[in-house]
Amino acid sequence: MTDWLGPEEWSAVMLSLKVALWATLGALVPGVFVAYALARWRFPGKQIINGLVHLPLILPPVATGYLLLISFGTQGIFGSLLAEAGIVFAFRWTGAALAAAVMAFPLLVRAVRMSIEATDPKLEQAAQTLGASKLWIFVTVTIPLILPGILAGAVLAFAKAMGEFGATITFVSNIPGQTQTLPSAIYSFLQVPGGENAALQLVGVSIFVAMTALLLSEYIGRRLAQWVSAS
């Protein structure tokens, strides 16, 4: 595969996989938590939280990228604080992962929230009468029951993170080897004469990765659903 892809293409593919993986992992825990809160809790300002979560989905990605730049850039409010702690996002692959995570977050939350709403709260109630605290119920009842939903949300988030372009290029630019993800690389190849071949190769890789992820999740999802409900 290394022979087939040029070094620049290869590094873009590897970077994208790394960025998408970290973005998905990073979004997972807060995503499940927010989904649970939105599905099961009642609290003031719930609609505002819901709106904020969905913002990256409805805002132009460039706008999200710009917001990330002014808040998480080296001069930004959070960025400057985090920089002191040694965490830098601007023009690094970590920034690309952050942008991808933010963009993928609403998709993850929606999928998980739907599966939480589909589980019967009466089972959680039953666990409570058997002596389980809220946290134990979440770990021993809720999480296992929504595993298929979490998986579906994670795959969706991973696919979104692989394809994220607008926010990423706005926030961390398009530096080969640093922040040039797969979509950025395709875009760059299309800007130079004779780059169509390389662009097409990367499109092929995108299709391959997306299809693999989808089929894998279908398979694991079916096994998980069986495990949750049957023998």
Partner 1 sequence: MSLSVSINQSIDAFSLNVKFDAPVGLTALFGPSGSGKTTLVNSVAGLSRGCVGRIAVDDWILQDSDLGIWLPPQKRQLGYVFQEGRLFPHLTVRQNLLFGQWFAKGRPPIVKFTDVVEMLGIGALLSRRPSLLSGGEKQRVAIGRALLAAPKLILADEPLAALDEARKGEIIPYFECLRDEINVPILYVSHSIAEVARLATTVVALNGGQLTQVGPAVDVLGDPKFIPVGVRAVGAVLDVTVVAHHSDGLTELDAAGSPLFIPQISQEPGRVMRVRIAAHDVILSCDEPKGLSALNILHGIIEAVRSGDGPGAIVSIRTPAGTVLARVTRRSSIALGLSEGVSCYAVIKTVAIAPQDAGG
- For binding to partner 1 (CB under 8 A), which residues are involved? 120, 122-123, 125-133, 136, 140-141, 144-145, 227-231
Q: Which amino acid is at 93?
A: W
Which of residues 116 and 205 has its CB atom nearest to partner 1 in the complex? 116
Q: How far is the CB of 114 from partner 1 (least distance, A)?
A: 18
Which of residues 2 and 229 has its CB atom nearest to partner 1 in the complex? 229
Q: How far is the CB of 150 from partner 1 (least distance, A)?
A: 13
Q: How far is the CB of 221 from partner 1 (least distance, A)?
A: 15
- 171 to 72, 176, 180: CA distances (angstroms): 9, 15, 12
CB 162 within 8 A of CB 184: no
Q: How far is the CB of 136 from partner 1 (least distance, A)?
A: 7
Q: How far apart are CA 217 and CA 151, in angstroms?
A: 7
Which of residues 140 and 212 has its CB atom nearest to partner 1 in the complex? 140
Which of residues 141 and 154 has its CB atom nearest to partner 1 in the complex? 141
What is the per-residue burial (b if ≥16 Cβ within 10 Å, else e) of 98-137?
Answer: bbbbbbbbbbbbbbbbebbeebeeeebeebeeeebeeeeb
Which of residues 200 and 228 has its CB atom nearest to partner 1 in the complex? 228
Q: Helix 46-58 vs helix 93-118: angle between axes, to the nearest 10 degrees?
A: 130
Q: How far is the CB of 116 from partner 1 (least distance, A)?
A: 15
